[in-house]
Chain A
């Protein structure tokens, strides 16, 4: 697969694989972002996940809160230094409890802050771990800020293989993982190509049909639900809630291209499960996030890079890298060659993170840009890859969420600080007036000093 240069978001729509994609309602466009510009612009949230820990020695900055120097891994963020916070001293305490192995617990808990359920995922001397036992922070935020956007949230993935607890970070609720979409073309079709009908009358008929069917179907789920035992009810609860999101979408605007909301040339087909495609797929997914924000189709997105224990070989960073990410991440501190390679992997992730910030800064909104009203959380499921340490997690927060966070700082603290507090801080950033997130046994209130 030949890597292509990233494509301009503003490039003309050619469609997928060269075929034209019909666009709905081009003649009925009305301003989307402009609509918001009179009022307060909407806030937006992005979760950015990379696995297998980092190289702490090469990750943490030096210096004080306002007088700090970027580390080797964070160097690619130089141009955004004033717009990010490096958050140290926060621990994944919840992941020391409950069933599951270190990777399972870290993955299921990094965004939920709940111990895992009992279940039948193998990994702990038997079939022991289940899904995470609570809603993830992005979904909680989405419930509150989605407004009348077409999608409450969009889950993007890059080479996320597997479909068990080590491959899922986003949860709609306890035991309800949301899978990411690895294929930009499929995501594009889903978000921007939901045509269904090519005129308003046709659209109206389609919506009526969907309403009738969903109502009828939901009635069947409800009456079946009443007859079932607890476990089966939980399954149907999730299903009914998912049907609910389809109902919510009825009557909402589909995409209208104008202003900053412009079609994206997604290029030819790429195999999303080919590791050599990762750089290109990642860029496309980030372009799609930026585009979805520009079109105000969603306000919450997540981008999950691979998965916990991923064995992707990052050989596009150099032929010398021949081992998968997970085995590399486990090399001892004294193995300088391999630690340097792992550092380059994490540095590359930081460079891609910088690209996402660039993409959001390129979209004007009000007096500033979309980035000004966004906060991006970079999380991992481990802190230190070679020993599964989950203390002092390598958190980066980019953006101020509309001025909520003062940026340009390296904030850290001592002692055991459950990451539940960081999650509460994020709730507050979105004006969600709650002081507990995740399992309450890990404390309440926001992170001090952020």
Chain B
């Protein structure tokens, strides 16, 4: 059953991606040479920073968690033919909503977590509902409206944090959430928490949903052949709205997991770029939730590894962003070439 969740041409996909990765690393090496560092040393440091010991591995997984959940959110959208670029904003609002429940109410332990997570999910869904409505009612391009909604979300949560719920003291952050709302941690030596397991379960559940449920089938058809789906009697608008709502809800969940599991409060700019990294992870996995587990892990490792890079070498953390961009370029070029070769045309992804 699990095998049927993987892409058909797995081997070709992997071979292409690995080649693309090698090219990207070679280009990255050139950049590193230009700043007078030894590429091998930089890459070794990166690897050590990401997987050097159990603490470092936990650190990598900690970074992977929000990217994975955001990636699943993006996968849901992509499968239904919707490009939700607003995951970043849904993540911020979800994070804030969870924190608010966490510090404003005193509830029994398990219930507190559940209510806070539910608030995060609802906030994410609510935030995407406006672009989603415009999309299905007036045909407004969801890429534009969700990108714009990101700015509003980030600034709105900043406003909440600075002016309405600021913790007494210097930082622009909310009061800490009550310990009853903490997500349980997995190990004593890391803040790694059950959010990772939530993400993994979500990825598998999403893959199963699309493969084995009638609703998943309908959504997939709307995404890959909207005119065919309409002809076959599927309500294309309702499916599109539902897909965006679900995608936003999962984006909100990512934010909730991040505040309840890692920061235990909401801070301005608490999760920079996780939403976008998740989107890219999903695109590199070609919209497959199972594939997103691996691409998210890869991005998580890059982020975690770059921390050590700054300590141990003269290369700055920004160099990682450069390498990451090169990898994305190389891998997406491979994907595009392949899709062009397929000739049958691709999904309705609008770049």
Partners in one complex: no
Residues of A that sit less than 8 Å from B by CB: none
Residues of B that sit less than 8 Å from A by CB: none
